[in-house]
Amino acid sequence: MTNKIIEQVEQAYLKKDIPQFTVGDTVDVHTRIIEGEKERIQIFAGTVIMKRGRGTSETFTVRRIVNNEGVERIFPLHSPFISKVVVKRGGETRRAKLFYLRDRVGKAVKLTETKRTKASTDGAASEKSAGGAKGGKKPSPPAAERELAGANA
C-alpha cells in the first residue's frame, strides 16, 4: 500500500545483509557508539519481543533483565549504527508480539528452544550420539541412513 516512488527512494538506504531472526530469538545487537572522536561497539543482549514496520521504518524491540528491572530497547533494523545482530538461540513462539513476557519473572521468561535442522547441527548431533542415550544404548540412525547403509553392505 506504499507509494512506488517512496519505495524507490528508500531502496538506497536499506541494508543488503539483513540478519535473519524472528520474534522469540535471543540476540546480541552490536551497536556503534560515538563518543567525541572515539567510536566503540556496545552489545545489547536480550530476547526479541516484537518486530514491526517495513522498509526504512522497520524496527525490532529487544528485552532483557538488568538488576531485577526489565529493560527494552527499540532498534531500527536498517540503522547505520547497528553493526550486526547475532542470533544466540532460537525461541519457539506462537505469537507475533511477546508482551506477556513483561509480566514474567525469573525462569518463566525463558522460551523453549527451537529445534534446529540436521544441516545446521551436524557437529552437535554427532557429539550427542557419541555420548550415548539413556540406558547405554546407541540411538538408531534415521530411516534414510539405514537404507543407505543397507545398499552399501
The CATH number given to whatever domain includes residue 105 is 2.30.30.790
Task: Report yes or no on 131 lying in a domain.
Answer: no
Judge whether 30 and 84 are in contact, CB under 8 Å.
yes
- Provide φ and ψ at 37, rounded to 5°: -100, -10
At residue 30, the pLDDT reads 96
Domain ranges, residue 53: 4-114
For residue 85, the model assigns a pLDDT of: 94
Question: Does residue 83 lie in a domain region?
Answer: yes
Residue 150 is assigned to a structural domain of this protein = no
d(CA 47, CA 120): 21
Residue 133 counted as domain residue: no
Domain total for the chain? Answer: 1
Ranges of residues in the chain with a pLDDT under 70 are: 1-2, 116-153
Q: What is the pLDDT of residue 14?
A: 92
pLDDT of residue 52: 95
pLDDT value of residue 122:
52
